[in-house]
Amino acid sequence: MLCSLSLVLCGLLAGTRADPGGLLRLGMDIMNHEVQSAMEESHILEKMAAEASNPQPGGKAIKGLSNMKVKDVLEPVITLNFVPGVGISQCVSTGMTITGKSFTGGNMEINVVLNITATDRLLQDEEAGTPVFRSEGCEVILVSVKTNLPNNKAINKFVDSTLRKVLPGLMCPAIDAVLEYVNKKWAKLTDPMPVDKMGTVKYALTSPPATTASHIQVDFSPVVQLQEGQLIQLATDGSLPEFPEGSAKDSQLLLSATFLTAELALLQKSLEVKLKDKR
């Protein structure tokens, strides 16, 4: 439930003035889950490999290499870390086999293990007003390279040149595609959510999301509307809850009385209860 609510609140309407509703801390548990799910569900590395193996007409050829194919892509291992004030640093460890005809005329096979690193900066979409991630500074770092070609200076130079030309164009777009996949999932959750048949609730940021060394924090407030279209007025003197010192690094959610009162107001008829504000 917390994971679903976290996704909803990551797709909040940003920059809207609203009464305090609660605090959400997105820990690395949820961020790992969402990025890993996006990588698996999109099959982006396999798609990039297929595109590289079937170049489009007019595409730039690699000197000394023909009939290039990319296959046997290893399952990626993703490591994320929070970067205070920026967003998230991402490292994707994977591997693959690159085959083709080399300039020597023989069949070439290069087995590569590599790391793809990038910084995922947390921004706000100017048009939609929703939080989005954008990658910066993508680099491909070779961990190991094995080839069936002879070991000499000319061949080593050819292999190094081939990898430098192939890998960045193949791997870095995969990082962008995964973030786009995550952003699209979150963007779908900005619509009002029905609460039974009584009305809808949507959420608004009360301040921009902030990244610390252990989490992304989101301050939010509900906008509650009855089925007939009438907005439920929220108390304006509610105080925002605070996380206790030394709280856990996993994702956490704190809700204020203002938030709960607004939710219960929608269900008042079906619950047949009367709400009283006791100080």
CA distances from 23 to 40, 115, 190, 200 (A): 30, 35, 18, 20
Amino acid symbol at 144? S
Instruction: Tell me if residue 270 falls in helix, strand or coil.
Output: helix
237 φ/ψ angles, rounded to the nearest 5 degrees: -110, 15
Per-run averaged pLDDT (10 residues), the chain, 279 residues:
42 38 84 87 82 62 73 90 95 91 81 94 77 91 88 82 84 88 73 80 77 86 80 67 68 79 74 59
pLDDT recorded at residue 131: 78
Distance CA 133, CA 38 (A): 13
Angle, helices 28-42/44-53, rounded to nearest 10 degrees: 40
pLDDT of residue 248: 61
Please give the pLDDT value at position 3: 45
Tell me the CA distances in angstroms from 19 to 73, 243, 252, one per residue in order.
49, 18, 20
Q: Which CATH class is domain 28-188?
A: alpha beta
Task: Look up the pTM and report it.
Answer: 0.74
Q: Which residues pair with 142 in a beta bridge?
A: 114
CA distance 159 to 162: 5
Q: Where are the beta strands (DSSP E) in the chain?
A: 22-26, 65-71, 77-83, 87-102, 107-124, 131-147, 193-195, 199-205, 210-211, 216-226, 252-255
pLDDT in tens, 121-146: 998 777 766 778 999 999 999 999 89
- pLDDT, position 69: 86
The partner residues of 94 in beta bridges, in order of sequence, read 114
- Where along the chain do its domains lie? 28-188
CB-based contact 123:152 (threshold 8 Å): no
